[in-house]
Amino acid sequence: MPTTARPILIAGGGIGGLSAALGLAAKGRSVIVLEKAARLGEIGAGIQLGPNAFHAFDYLGIGEAARAMAVYIDKLLLMDALTAEEITHIDVGPAFRARFGNPYAVVHRGDLHGVLLAACRADARVDLRVACEVVGYDQDGASVTVRLASGETIAGAALIGADGLWSNVRGQMLDEGPPLVSGHTSYRSVIPTEKMAEDLRWNAATLWAGPKCHLVHYPLSGWKVFNLVVTYHNDAPAPVAGQPVEAEEVMAGFGHIHPKAQQIIIHGSDWKLWVLCDREPVADWVDGRVALLGDAAHPMLQYMAQGACMAMEDSVCLAHMVAAHGDDLEAALTAYRDRRVVRTTRVQLGSRAMGEHVYHPAGAHALARNAIMSAKSSEEWCDTLAWLYGGSGVDGDG
């Protein structure tokens, strides 16, 4: 059977896996998405999307649907959490959109995942299967066979490991230990807009930076709700994902910040906590007919708000390379990796640096941050970020 007739297997039905499925299907490839969970979905929280994510949406044919669910914020605002004074901001209004050809927006993860899922369901080339945990793979130079936890095996032309931070595909491919625990704990809550402090209902993605902590809030879902994410560098020793936590415990890490910033926590409810992890960047995410994508390839802290954006960019690049290389899937996967690795490494390392030098400094370090960052105009920030927001990630732009 020619390689092009066999499906490409994708482990994971998150934002990365579904984007990859759409991109490959658009190039005429049939795909089978194998998702571990019993149903396809996303957690009920928000996500920021730079213009580069919208370039990817357009390419994947869902630009219109993605724009319809977004809240278009006016600015990215950085506040000092001790003084409650602005440090700097970036206007993301009409001039920003014109410059980068697309908006900066915030969306509900469920809405975003829903748009991707609907597009996958509408494409006969995409076969979505749930309760399918990929535990390993074998390959013989002409095909890949995945092994599922159920004992079932499924053969395909290639395998894309889009199975997230704890990727089993990566676990087999690379000789390394578990993800690195950052010691940073993020608490998330989504509250109705009327519960948000009135004087903080800004049309901005706002970040309050304080010693060993930061807080983020923005409106979502047509201003019906506010997304709250507050992070405390408490040296948490072990990874945690989505564990419910009492508001008093959340507040414990934020007693030292300005009362105005504390309101963000006071008004939150149903908090859940994550202890954040990432990995050192690596350049070898391809093994013959198997490649990694999204968090499986380059897990990062969320501090540049780019993990999902990078996963979607990966998907666009992957589709391009598979189309360009026809039947030679090994060459396609290598070309994909070569075009993505510098840009994603830059975002992985940049995200860590943001945590250290922008989000969590204290004392003189914080004073230096404020002096350096407030000296830049919004236009100068756009120049600084042009590599990221202006790039598509397809051409190896870094």
Chosen residue from 139, 206, 227, 306 binding ligand FAD by CB under 6 A: 306
Residue 391 touches ligand FAD, criterion: CB under 6 A: no
- Which residues pair with residue 156 across a beta bridge? 144
Nearer to ligand FAD, 21 or 87 (CB): 21
Nearer to ligand FAD, 6 or 36 (CB): 36
Residue 309 touches ligand FAD, criterion: CB under 6 A: yes
Chosen residue from 15, 32, 119, 264 binding ligand FAD by CB under 6 A: 15
Contacts of 5 (CB under 8 A, 6+ apart): none
Give the span between the Cα atoms of 116 and 10, in whole angstroms.
Answer: 15
Alpha-carbon torsion (274, 279, 284, 288), positive or negative: negative
Residue 162 touches ligand FAD, criterion: CB under 6 A: yes
HSE toward the beta carbon, residue 251, CA cutoff 13 A = 14
Chosen residue from 7, 307, 355, 391 binding ligand FAD by CB under 6 A: 307
* Cβ(119)–Cβ(63) below 8 Å: no
Chosen residue from 163, 278, 313, 330 binding ligand FAD by CB under 6 A: 163
Residue 11 touches ligand FAD, criterion: CB under 6 A: yes
Angle at the Cα of 349 from the Cα atoms of 344 and 355, rounded to 5 degrees: 130
| Interface characters, 255-294, with ligand FAD (x: CB under 6 A) | -------------------x-------------------x
In 3D space, the residue among 64, 60, 23, 17 whose CA is nearest the CA of residue 37 turns out to be: 17
Q: How many residues does the chain have?
A: 398
Chosen residue from 9, 25, 32, 36 binding ligand FAD by CB under 6 A: 36
Chosen residue from 12, 219, 361, 393 binding ligand FAD by CB under 6 A: 12
Q: How many residues sit close enough to ligand FAD to count as binding (CB under 6 A)?
A: 33
Residue 137 CB neighbours (<10 A): 24
Give the span between the Cα atoms of 218 and 227, in whole angstroms.
Answer: 5
Chosen residue from 13, 210, 268, 355 binding ligand FAD by CB under 6 A: 13
Nearer to ligand FAD, 165 or 322 (CB): 165
Nearer to ligand FAD, 163 or 330 (CB): 163
Nearer to ligand FAD, 311 or 335 (CB): 311
Residues 171-190 that bind ligand FAD (CB under 6 A): 186
The three-state secondary structure class of 26 is: helix
Q: 245 is written with which tokens?
A: 């936590």
Chosen residue from 52, 102, 143, 168 binding ligand FAD by CB under 6 A: 168
Select the span of 9-17, 95-103, 117-125, 383-391 touching ligand FAD (CB under 6 A).
9-17
Residues 201-240 that bind ligand FAD (CB under 6 A): 229
Tell me whether strands 225-233 and 180-192 are parallel, antiparallel or unpaired.
Answer: antiparallel
Nearer to ligand FAD, 244 or 363 (CB): 244
Chosen residue from 159, 230, 311, 382 binding ligand FAD by CB under 6 A: 311
Residue 111 touches ligand FAD, criterion: CB under 6 A: no
Give the span between the Cα atoms of 31 and 23, in whole angstroms.
Answer: 10
Nearer to ligand FAD, 191 or 331 (CB): 191
Phi-psi domain of 12 (left: phi exceeds 0; alpha: psi -120 through 50; beta: other): left
The three-state secondary structure class of 62 is: coil
* Cβ(301)–Cβ(252) below 8 Å: no
Which helix or strand (DSSP H or E) is residue 336 part of?
A: helix 329-354
Residue 267 CB neighbours (<10 A): 18
Residues in touch with ligand FAD (CB under 6 A): 11-17, 34-37, 47-48, 133-134, 162-165, 168, 186, 229, 274, 294-296, 302, 305-309, 311
